Chain A
Amino acid sequence: MNRAGAIVGRIAQIIPTFFLIGVVVFVLARLLPGDAVSAMLGDRATDEAVRRITHQLGLDRSMVAQFLTFIGQAAQGHFGQSLAFRVPVASLISERLPVTLLLTLMATLIAMCMALPLAFVAAMNANRWPDILIRAVFQVGLSSPVFYVGLVLLTVFAAGLRLFPVGGYGEGLPAHLYHLFLPALTLALSFSAVIMRTLRGSILAVLRAEFVDFARAKGLSARVILLRHVLRSAAITTVTLVGLHIGSLLGGAVITESVFAVPGVGRLMVDSIFSRDYPVIQALTLVLAVLVSLTFLATDLLHGWLDPRAGV
Chain B
Amino acid sequence: MRLPFPLIAGLGILVLLLLCALLPGAIAPYDPLAFDYTAMLAAPGRAHLFGTDQFGRDLLSRTIHATRIDLQIALFATIGPLLIGGAIGLLVGWFGGLADTLVGRLIDLVQTFPFLVLVIAIVAVLGPGLENMYVAVAIVGWVFYARLMRGEVLVQKHADYIAAARALGYSQPRLMLRHILPNAIRPVLIYLVTDMALAILLGSSLGYLGLGAQPPTPEWGVLIADGKNFFTTAPWMSLFPGLAIVLTGLGFSLTGDGLADLMDVRR
Chains A, B in direct contact (C-beta < 8 Å): yes
> CB within 8 A of B125: which of A31, A190, A292?
A31
> CB within 8 A of A143: which of B108, B201, B231?
B201
- The contact string, 1 if C-beta is below 8 Å from chain B, for chain A 190-215, is 10001001000100000000000000
Most A C-beta atoms less than 10 A away, residue of B112, B125, B205, B261: B112
Say whether B228 contacts A151, CB under 8 Å: yes
> CB within 8 A of B116: which of A145, A194, A251?
A251
How many residue pairs link A and B with beta carbons under 8 A? The number is 133
> CB within 8 A of A296: which of B108, B120, B144, B224?
B108
Please classify the interface of chain A as helix (H, G, I), strand (E, B), loop, or mixed, using the class held by over half of its residues: helix
Say whether B221 contacts A248, CB under 8 Å: no
Of the 9-residue stretches B32-40, B156-164, B244-252, which lies at the interface with chain A? B244-252
Say whether B109 contacts A254, CB under 8 Å: no
A166 interface residue (CB < 8 Å to B): no
A-side contacts of B224, CB under 8 Å: 145, 147-148
Say whether A144 contacts B238, CB under 8 Å: no
Closest to A127 in B: B4
- The contact string, 1 if C-beta is below 8 Å from chain A, for chain B 113-129, is 11111001110110100
Say whether A266 contacts B124, CB under 8 Å: no
8 A Cβ contacts from A147-193 to B? 147-148, 151, 155, 190
Closest to A145 in B: B204
Count A-side interface residues using an 8 Å CB cutoff.
47
Closest to B193 in A: A197
Report how far A270 CA is from B121 CA in the complex, Å: 8
User: Nearest-CB distance from A98 to chain B (Å)?
Assistant: 17
Say whether B125 contacts A147, CB under 8 Å: no
Say whether B117 contacts A251, CB under 8 Å: yes
Say whether B250 contacts A145, CB under 8 Å: no
With A139-B246, A273-B117 as contacts: A247 and B111 at CB distance below 8 Å: yes
8 A Cβ contacts from A23-77 to B? 24, 28, 31-33
A-side contacts of B4, CB under 8 Å: 127
Say whether A28 contacts B109, CB under 8 Å: no
Report how far A244 CA is from B105 CA in the complex, Å: 14
Say whether A139 contacts B253, CB under 8 Å: yes
Say whether B253 contacts A252, CB under 8 Å: no
Most B C-beta atoms less than 10 A away, residue of A20, A28, A252: A252
Report how far A293 CA is from B112 CA in the complex, Å: 7
A113 interface residue (CB < 8 Å to B): no
Say whether B228 contacts A147, CB under 8 Å: yes
A261 interface residue (CB < 8 Å to B): no
B-side contacts of A135, CB under 8 Å: 6, 253-254, 257
B197 interface residue (CB < 8 Å to A): yes
A146 interface residue (CB < 8 Å to B): yes
Report how far A127 CA is from B208 CA in the complex, Å: 36
Closest to A132 in B: B6
B194 interface residue (CB < 8 Å to A): yes
With A20-B109, A292-B112 as contacts: A143 and B120 at CB distance below 8 Å: no
A250 interface residue (CB < 8 Å to B): yes
A-side contacts of B198, CB under 8 Å: 142
B59 interface residue (CB < 8 Å to A): no
User: Nearest-CB distance from B2 to chain A (Å)?
Assistant: 12
Q: Which 6 A-B pairs have the closest CB atoms?
A: A251-B114, A143-B249, A289-B112, A252-B116, A145-B204, A143-B246
Chain A residues within CB distance 8 Å of chain B: 13, 17, 20-21, 24, 28, 31-33, 127, 132, 135-136, 139-140, 142-148, 151, 155, 190, 194, 197, 201, 244, 247-248, 250-252, 254-255, 266, 269-270, 273-274, 285, 288-289, 292-293, 296
Question: 15 A-B pairs, CB-CB below 8 angstroms?
Answer: A17-B105, A17-B112, A24-B109, A127-B4, A136-B250, A139-B253, A142-B194, A145-B208, A145-B224, A148-B224, A197-B253, A248-B114, A254-B116, A254-B120, A296-B108
Beyond A139-B246, A145-B224, A247-B113, list 8 extra A-B contacts (CB 8 Å).
Answer: A21-B109, A33-B124, A142-B194, A201-B190, A244-B144, A244-B147, A255-B205, A273-B117
